[in-house]
Every structure is written in structure tokens, then in C-alpha cells.
Structure 1
Amino acid sequence: MNANKPLNVIAIDDNGLILTQLRLLLSQSYDIHFSGFNNGPDALIHIKDNAADLIFLDLNMPQMDGIEVLRHLSDLNISASIVLLSGEDNTIIKMAKNLAHLRNLNVITGIDKPVTASQIKQLMESLFSLSHRQASSLQPHSFHVDELQHAIKDKQMCLYLQPKVSLSTEEFVGAEFLIRWNHPDFGTLSPYYFIDLIEHSDLVHDFSIFVVNEAFEFIEQHFELLQDLAFNINLSVKNLEDLQLPERLADLANSYNVPPSMIVFEVTESLLIENLTQSLDVLLRLRLKGFSLAIDDFGTGYSSIKQLSQIPFCELKLDRCFIHDCAIDSDKQAIIEATVALAQKLNLKVVAEGIEQQQDLAFLNNYKIDYGQGYLFALPLEKVQFLKTLEQQSDYDQRKSRGRLRG
């Protein structure tokens, strides 16, 4: 989207007055090219041949409802920003947004009818702000497997650490190792730009071992400072196809003098259940080697309670999508409450990911959640910065302890 060019807006609503209202509200303040349709099929024919920047979509229409239109938009791989319109209960908009996100559609908000000028103003201001931020940032680049092989061999890949804190004390209890690519042309890249290519190539096993090597080496070098912490390392589900993985990881831990009890291997829930039998074989033997296991992004997949109880996890990580705004979202609160109760019944520690707001932290503390991660506590840190931050906490803890002794 370019704020210097007319915005291609498409509105789909069976009420002609709504279409006219949208056109007038938008055109009086913004440079737009507006196309309105009173039914889904006609709109989809137009969208197929004409690029759209912004789509307004009514959910309740007689010929083809908005949910059906979303399905067809997904089939067309539409990247336009989508605004849902509805006179229905807010729950309907919310559920439709969730469905759209599952279909990889960019639904940015929902608006209750009748549409007002202030709603449009707020929408457009946020839309142009987002567009500006996206335009000024690096866009995804298509890399080749050979480039990634070179990056691993040349140690362009480096580890950052996302601190994990005790929610009761807000003190560091460990960290999650995260990978970054120090690209010679593009600067520091997050996994967003390369992890899918690794996951779908033969590199996945070598890459995971590289990460474990780097993590274990870091722990060994700073063992005196780090020995009381636990460190999470992500494994690909494809790694669980390697029946020798438990022995390989145990041998690595031994070679770096890293106690397996310091390590928590994470596996993403949404991918785990595809080959449960073989995964369970490897996961059980990792536990026998002394490593701990965490189920990552819990709530985004389809694990049953039975499956969760069959796998020897020690830790359950609540996905950030349930944490953001949980203080004001009753649906998220219900999910968190039920998940924490389940985890406690199964004797699992609970980690809340993506904590960014004080009000969300206050809500989470009502449920005796064990640990948290998120920008509210710390950004992902380079290894040197993590050590400095940890030393500062250690100095503070020692001063506090001496103060208690003197008291």
C-alpha cells in the first residue's frame, strides 16, 4: 500500500446505503478508487482481476455470506487489508476474525454497524501508520538452501536469549535460545525470513545440532554464572524422526559438561501429533537422558487431553495469542483458566509467552502461572547483554540477601 497513490477500496454489502455511506466517508478525506458490490460473487469476479488494498466485507448477506467470501478470498491468496462489517453480536465478528487468520487473511479489525465517521478516521489512521512501518522495514527475501548452508558454516547464525522470569518475583530463572542471522547485506534477520526453508529442506537436522552446539558451548563457557538457570532450545518435529537424537544430544551435553537437567527442549504442539508414535519414542528417551520437555504454542494445535497426558512434558507454554489483552478479553480468560487448571492437574509448569502489558501480567498472577516471557520483562538479548543483565540481577540479589541478614 502506498499513501501517495489512490487506495483501491472494495466494499461488499447487500445494503446500498452502507455502500454509499462508506464511499462518501472515505472519499471526503482520502484519495481512493472505490468499487462497491451488493453481493459476494460479483465482488469476487472483480477482485480476481483487480488488485485491492482495502476490503470492507459484510458478514450477513443473503446470496453468499461473508464467511463464504472469506473462504474464496483465501483461495485467491488475497493480501489486502480486510475490515469486517456486522450488525450481529461482537462474538460473531471475533470468531470470523479468528477464522480469517487461520486462512492467512489480513483482517485488521471489525466494525459494528452503523458505520460512523470517527470509526473510519480511526481505521484509516491506523492503516496508514501500519503501511508506513511495513514500507520502511525489510521485506521477506527469497533465500536459497546454499546460502543457508554457507551461513551456518560461516557462523553467520548467532544465538540470542529471551529471558524467562518467575512471575511471582519477576527474577530471571532461565532463557530461551533464539536464532538470528547476521546477514552481510540485510543485517540481523529473525527466523521469519529463513526458518520455513530450513524446515522444508535436508538442513533441518544439521541446523538443530548447530543451535544445540552453540547453546551448550555458551553454557559451558559461563557455567558458574548460569548453573542455577534452565535453558529452552527449540527442536523441529522433523528432528523427532531421528531415532538416534537422544543419544546425540546426550553425547553433546556430556562433551560440553552441561547437565541435562539444565536443558528444556521445546516442540510445537500444532506439528507434534502428525507422527505421535515415533515422536513419543524419541521424547521418552530424551526424558530418560535427563532432559526436560516443553510443549510450545499450546492452544494453537489440536492436542487432546489424552495425547497431552501420554507425552512426558514438564512444561506447557501458553501461546502469545491468548496472552495479549487477556486482562480485557473474557474468552481468553476462560481459555487461560482452563489450560492452567489442566496443566496443574498434569503437574506441568506453565509459561505465559508474549507478556507485553502490565494489566495482562496482573491478570495472569491471579492464576499462579509459574513463568513468563515477553517484552514487558526483556527483549531478546545478545549473549553478552544477557550475561550483563544476569550479573546485575545477581548483584542485586546478593545486596538484598545481605540486607536481610543485617536486619
Structure 2
Amino acid sequence: MICQEDIFMFSLQRIEQAILREEFVPYYQPQVNVLQQKIVGVEALVRWQHPELGLLAPLFFLPFAETTGVISEIDGLVLKKACQDIHELHRLGFGMSVAVNLSASHFNHKYLPRMIAEVLEETGIDPCSLVLELTEGVMIHDVQQAVRVMREVQELGVKIYLDDFGRGYSNLFWLLHFPFNGVKVDRCFIQSSTMDAKNYEVLLSILDLSRRLNLEVILEGVETEQQLQFCGQQGYGVAQGYLFSYPLTIIGLEKRFWLERLQEGLLVA
């Protein structure tokens, strides 16, 4: 039996081959408009489709990939494939955005805006449908360059979100000094908001601040009906979590959209 350690060590030997063979693929977790109960976006989450071991979660390969810098190549594969998939769904009449995570090494590359422009042109996706998700650590080393790169990417029509806001050493500096279009509130707040009074108040403060700064908001980690009700009460209509769906293949995502149309009465079963 192969244990986790064996898989990780094996991945160290195979990861470059896997990049060449395009074995890293995106799975899509829906982002749902709470009031409309409708998918309005997805987050592309990388998985390794290993030919012998099956589908591997990021914990088996991302630590090595980030340490060696090959994570930027994986980012590029996932970004291109996600844009291709979403463009095809747009062609079928399913409108949505797609959010893709970028690593620190990839984001700090001075040619990132050019690479994004090339992907947009090659895949044909509407730039307004693409969201790049960044964590604070991406921008810590060179603030001026980070702002410059963000501006260049946004000039293409692409949005940029601050991911996992509220985790670790989050503070107002990031929202006040970087030109984000939106934030994704870390799951720890919504999952503890009904049990921990302090977290509840912090969450309300984050939502109020985001509204005042005209930032779009996505609440992560929604897993219960009570949490869903909270989202609706606060007037923030977009949420993401296992209550709606686990990450799906592109085929599974397309099936979800066809099901939505059936439920809306737009198709005859």
C-alpha cells in the first residue's frame, strides 16, 4: 500500500514530466448567488490526474512545486485550461466568471501581464470573466512592483481579489494600498460566526468595510443552511462552499448548468 509519504516522494521525481504531459487539471467549485440560487462563478482548483495513482490533492505536490518554482508552470497550465473551459461554457450560453489562484513566484514575474494577455487572446475568453486570486504573501516583498503588475493586469479587464482575507496577519494595509476589485473572506469566520461572538463581530466589520470600499465579496466555507441564511441577511449574495457543491470536473459543471436551466423551466425535460 502506498502511503502519503511515498506519493509525495514519487511526485518529486514525476512532477516535471507531469507538467509536460499536462496532467495538472482544474476542478471547479461553484460560486452561487444566494438570493437567486444560481451559479455565477467558479474557482479553478488544481488537481494532479496521476496515471497510476489517480486524482491527487494539492498537498501531495504543491509544497515541492512552490519550493522549486515550478508552481508557476502549473499555474500557467491551470489558467489556460480554465479559460478554455469557461469560454466553451460561454459559447453554450452559460455565463459565469472563473477565478484562478496565482502563486507568489508567478505573480512576481514581470512578464505576467503579457502572459495573461496572451492567454486571453488564445482562448477567446472575455477578460471581464477572469478573476485572479492573490494572498497577501504574494505582494509582501516588493509593494511597488505588485501594484504596478496589478494595474497592468486590470487594464486588460481582469479582476483581482484578495484571497483568504482575515487569515493570519491580515490587516487594513492590504485593502487600502492595493487596487483589489474584491475580497474572499476566509472560511474561519462564516464557520464560527454563530458560535463565537468575537468572530461574528469581526466578520460583520469585514463586510461593512468591504461595502464602504466598494469591494465585491465572496464568503467562503458555507456548509450549512444557517450559514447560508446569514449570507442572505447581510445582503452579500455570493457564497462558496460544500453546501452548494464539491469541486467538479468540467463535465460535472456543465451538467449542473443544464440542471439549472431545467429547474428554471427554460428547457423541456
- What TM-score do the two structures reach when normalised by structure 1? 0.61
1:362 aligned to which of 204, 229, 244: 229
Q: Is the 8 A contact 2:40 2:96 kept in 1?
A: yes
* Match status 1:139 vs 2:8: no
* Residue 218 of structure 1: aligned partner: 85
* Residue 179 of structure 2: aligned partner: 312
Q: Is the 8 A contact 1:165 1:372 kept in 2?
A: yes
Q: Mark the CA change 1:145 to 1:226 in structure 2 (over 3 Å): closer, same or farther.
A: farther
Q: CA offset at residue 307 of structure 1?
A: 3.1
1:166 aligned to which of 23, 27, 33: 33
Q: Is the 8 A contact 2:136 2:174 kept in 1?
A: no
For residues 63-96 of structure 1, give each alpha carbon's deviation from its aligned partner in whole angstroms, at most 9, with x where no partner exists: xxxxxxxxxxxxxxxxxxxxxxxxxxxxxxxxxx
Stretch of structure 1 that moved more, 366-375 or 214-223: 214-223
CA distance in 1, matches of 2:76, 2:19: 11
* Match status 1:283 vs 2:150: yes
Unaligned stretches of 5+ in structure 2?
A: none
Question: Larger Rg: 1 or 2?
Answer: 1
Q: CA offset at residue 226 of structure 1?
A: 5.6
* Residue 121 of structure 1: aligned partner: none
* Match status 1:250 vs 2:123: no
* Residue 292 of structure 1: aligned partner: 159
Q: CA offset at residue 295 of structure 1?
A: 0.6
Aligned length: 266
2:240 aligned to which of 358, 373, 376: 373
Q: Which has the higher contact order (CA 8 A, sep 6+)?
A: 2
Q: CA offset at residue 204 of structure 1?
A: 2.2
For residues 225-279 of structure 1, give each alpha carbon's deviation from its aligned partner in whole angstroms, at most 9, with x where no partner exists: 3652111001012212211111111121012111110000000134433332221
Provide the identity percentage: 28
Q: Is the 8 A contact 1:349 1:370 kept in 2?
A: no
Stretch of structure 1 that moved more, 300-309 or 257-266: 300-309
The amino acid of 2:142's aligned partner reads: N
**Aligned ranges 1:27-38 → 2 under 5 Å:** none
Q: Mark the CA change 1:240 to 1:254 in structure 2 (over 3 Å): closer, same or farther.
A: same
For residues 349-403 of structure 1, give each alpha carbon's deviation from its aligned partner in whole angstroms, at most 9, with x where no partner exists: 1111111111122223221123111110111111101001111112322449x9x
RMSD: 2.2
Q: CA offset at residue 170 of structure 1?
A: 2.1
Q: Is the 8 A contact 2:161 2:184 kept in 1?
A: yes
The amino acid of 2:125's aligned partner reads: V
Q: Mark the CA change 1:272 to 1:168 in structure 2 (over 3 Å): closer, same or farther.
A: farther
The amino acid of 1:142's aligned partner reads: F
Q: Is the 8 A contact 1:227 1:262 kept in 2?
A: no
Q: Is the 8 A contact 2:231 2:239 kept in 1?
A: no
Unaligned stretches of 5+ in structure 1?
A: 1-135, 403-407
CA distance in 2, matches of 1:146, 1:277: 37
1:382 aligned to which of 244, 249, 261: 249
CA distance in 2, matches of 1:227, 1:286: 25
CA distance in 2, matches of 1:175, 1:310: 27
Stretch of structure 1 that moved more, 214-223 or 343-352: 214-223
The amino acid of 2:260's aligned partner reads: Q
CA distance in 2, matches of 1:199, 1:268: 14
Q: CA offset at residue 137 of structure 1?
A: 10
Q: Is the 8 A contact 1:162 1:373 kept in 2?
A: yes
Q: Mark the CA change 1:137 to 1:372 in structure 2 (over 3 Å): closer, same or farther.
A: farther
* Residue 179 of structure 1: aligned partner: 46
Q: CA offset at residue 348 of structure 1?
A: 0.7
